[in-house]
Amino acid sequence: MRIISGKYKGRHLYSSKNQSIRPTTDRIKEYIFNILDDFPRDSRVLDLFAGSGNLGIEALSRGANNITFVDIAHSSMKVLKKNLLRIRVDENYTLIQKNALTFLRQNKEPFDLIFADPPFKWNHYIELLPLAFLPENLSNYGIFVLESEKTHNIEWDTNIYEVIRQKKFDRSLITFFGRKGIK
């Protein structure tokens, strides 16, 4: 794993030896950030199920103002801290060891960009999606990017948010959600 662009471009990240932690591949990460373009710049970012911090650190490298990394696993937090130290991140970031759904229920500061990359066997999307779209979690023009196993049928359409883009990669399905009328 490496950082693709920005301030920390080319730096390599550690990944967990725990095989249940599946980092986003460089190919998928490149696709995500090509779609987002300059969106992460000056934004508040949430990296749910952060694992190694791959997505959040890429957002920091590309100019995000602030990032919050959330993961329940002690092993993930250990690898994440190691990665932040390795590349000498000096931006504002917060590490929270907590269940992602619990974090979203308790959060009161909206984010401009939310990444969620739960384990493939995780199946609580019916709880995750409504929580992610609460105004205390996602800002008015925020974007929510979800990586799931492609066998999960991820659809969500409300009077405010909709799927704006979806693409399959090998076993992964990348879904971008945004406010209706904003592309």
pLDDT of res. 125: 81
Report the DSSP pairing between strands 161-169 and 66-70.
unpaired
Residue with token string 């990296």? 47
String of b and e for 117-134 (b: at least 16 CB within 10 Å)? Answer: bbebeeeebeebbebbbe
Lowest mean pLDDT segment, chosen from 14-18, 102-106, 179-183: 179-183
Does pLDDT of 168 surpass 80?
Answer: yes
Rounded Cα distance between 125 and 21, Å, is 18
Instruction: List, for residues 18-63, the tens digit of each pLDDT value.
Output: 655 566 788 999 999 999 998 888 999 999 999 999 999 999 999 9
Q: Which of 105-109, 129-133, 156-160 has the highest mean pLDDT?
A: 105-109
Joined together, the tokens standing for residue 119 give 């384990």
Looking at residue 5, its pLDDT comes to 93
Q: What is the pLDDT of residue 82?
A: 95
What is the residue-averaged pLDDT of the chain?
89
The domains of the chain, with CATH numbers, are 45-179 (3.40.50.150)
The DSSP secondary structure of the chain, one letter per residue, reads -B--SSTTTT-B----S-TT--PPPHHHHHHHHHHHTTTTTT-EEEEET-TT-HHHHHHHHTT-SEEEEE-S-HHHHHHHHHHHHHTT--SEEEEE-S-HHHHHHH--S-EEEEEE---TT---HHHHHHHHTSTTTEEEEEEEEEEEETTS------SSEEEEEEEEETTEEEEEEEETT--
**9 pLDDT tier (thresholds 50, 70, 90):** very high
Mean local confidence (pLDDT), 12-22: 71
Each residue's pLDDT tens digit, 59-87: 999 999 999 999 999 999 999 999 999 99
Residue 20: per-residue pLDDT: 55
Q: How far apart are CA 63 and CA 44, in angstroms?
A: 10
Query: Strand pairing partners for 149?
Result: 172
pTM over 0.75: yes
